[in-house]
Structure 1
Amino acid sequence: MIQCKDFAPRITERGPFGGASEYESFSEVVSAVNQWIENTTIQVINVETVVLPDRIEGTSDDVYGLTSSNGFYPVMISQGVTINCFQCVRVWYRE
């Protein structure tokens, strides 16, 4: 069965109200992906970069990083309303 796993930068420093203020770089995310691939017994099918919104259902800051310092993209979804999107790595694999 083909599966995928997304990797996004994790928060490295919190702001004054508990929100994120500093994040892993994209190269740190790529290093985490390489480490995960080395430590698992999977067959990698494809690796790609994807841009994902900063709010992803079923995730939390400590489990799935939601932001990136060098991969931050504000996207306007309607007049005056923007969402933050972040560059992530998606690994397609077979167990």
Structure 2
Amino acid sequence: MDILKEMNNNPEGIFFRIGGDEFSGLINRSKTEVEEILKKIYGDLIKIGLSPQLSISTGAKNLDISKNYLENYANTDKLLYEAKLKGKGCYILK
């Protein structure tokens, strides 16, 4: 996705495609700054003007260095599915 590639060229963070339509990002910023980054990504998706409109749902949390990759992924994935239950275009930050 070009929007995420563009973000990778900026100091906000780096994004990876996990598979299918799932992406992951590592963003070393405050919760408020992460929310601003998500708002920009969501706004950029609207500007593309696809029909039907492309939407995303996001779950985000701080990386817990006391947990391994799978535990961090599982905890964040739970937030993603909470966001999906809220409806298209939602995000949850913890």
Q: TM over 0.5: same fold?
A: no
Larger helix share, 1 or 2: 2
Larger radius of gyration: 1
Larger strand share, 1 or 2: 1
